[in-house]
Each structure stands twice: as structure tokens, then as C-alpha cells.
Amino acid sequence: MDSLGSVVNSLKKGEVIAYPTEGVWGLGCDPSNEKAITKLLNLKGRSKSKGLILIGSSLEQFSKFIEVEKYKDKLLEKWPGHHTWLVPPKPETNKLIIGNNEKIALRLSSHKQVIELCEEFKGAIISSSANKENSPTLGSPEEIKGIFPDIKVLVGELGGLSHPSKIQDLLTGELIRG
């Protein structure tokens, strides 16, 4: 497994990385780098229409993507933690991040390694489960390296939850994934 500095350098170079989250291992990249997002989608075999989650360590890291002040109080009802909100994006948000959806998926993490990663990177990152599309999520760094041998895997442990985060629409309250 790789050090925080090595993984952050890979992010800055437009590479896809793997890291532990609250419930599953994630694959991520720099959300401001379209080539990196495309690389992640291609590695996973994921459709561009589905959209991706952004994970961060502070509300300010989402300010490029949403009007933080407008939604802050509602977001903080479930954050930080294992909860993903669907929020209206700013018009300039990359369509590869939101896919064919009207909202962007955001999670403010409480996981130690995710917080350290986003703090060191100085921004939110793309967060997608570590797997090929329609395959089970990979459960260890060794499994990740077996399927994705060229990516850096951040040293760390899963947060102990056995499932991906809940996903909820911020405006309607509808639970999309429970």
C-alpha cells in the first residue's frame, strides 16, 4: 500500500487512486481533471450517464460545485458522516460528474484517511466503489491491485460499515439508496 504523499501526487498527476472509506474501498480522482474522470470511468466500465460522487473533508471543498451557503444548514443535518446528498450543482459543473442527473452527489466524510487525503489534496475528490461495473466491490488492497494493478492504494482501514452510504435528495428528502 502507498503513502499519503504518494497517493496525493498521483491525484495531482491525473491518476486514479484507491482509498478506504467508511464502508467500502473507493476509487477516486481529481474532479477538475476531465481526463482523470474519463480514465476512472473507463477502468470501471461505468457509463458516463450515471454520474459520480464527490467526497470531501470540509464544506468549502464543495464550493466549486454547489452554492454551499444556500444549502449549508440542511447538509449539516447529516454531515459529516456516511450520508450522500444530491444537491443542485452550479451550471459550470462538469457533466461527467453529474451524468444525466439534475443534481450532484456529495459526501462530507468523517473517515480519518479520507479527511487526511482531501486535506492534503486541498479539495474534494471523485469517489466511486472499487470495482468493475456490475461486479462486487473489492474488499482489500490486494484485490484492488489484482484488478487495477497500476493504481496507488492509500494505506488505511475501512471504517467498519458494511455498505455504501445512503443517498438522499436534499430538496425533496427522497431516499434514493438506503
Q: What is the pTM of this model?
A: 0.94
Q: What is the CA radius of gyration of the chain?
A: 15
pLDDT digits (tens, 9 = 90+) for 114-149: 999 999 999 999 999 999 999 999 999 999 999 999
| Residue ranges of E strands in 21-174 | 25-28, 53-56, 83-87, 104-108, 125-129, 152-153, 166-169
pLDDT digits (tens, 9 = 90+) for 84-123: 999 999 999 999 999 999 999 999 999 999 999 999 999 9
H or E segment at 120? helix 112-121
What is the C-alpha separation between 132 and 46, in angstroms, rounded? 8
H or E segment at 176? strand 175-177
Task: Pull the grid cell for residue 9.
Answer: 501526487
Delineate the domains of the chain, giving CATH numbers in brackets: 4-177 (3.90.870.10)
Please answer whether residues 75 and 59 qualify as being in contact, where contact means their C-beta atoms are separated by less than 8 angstroms.
yes
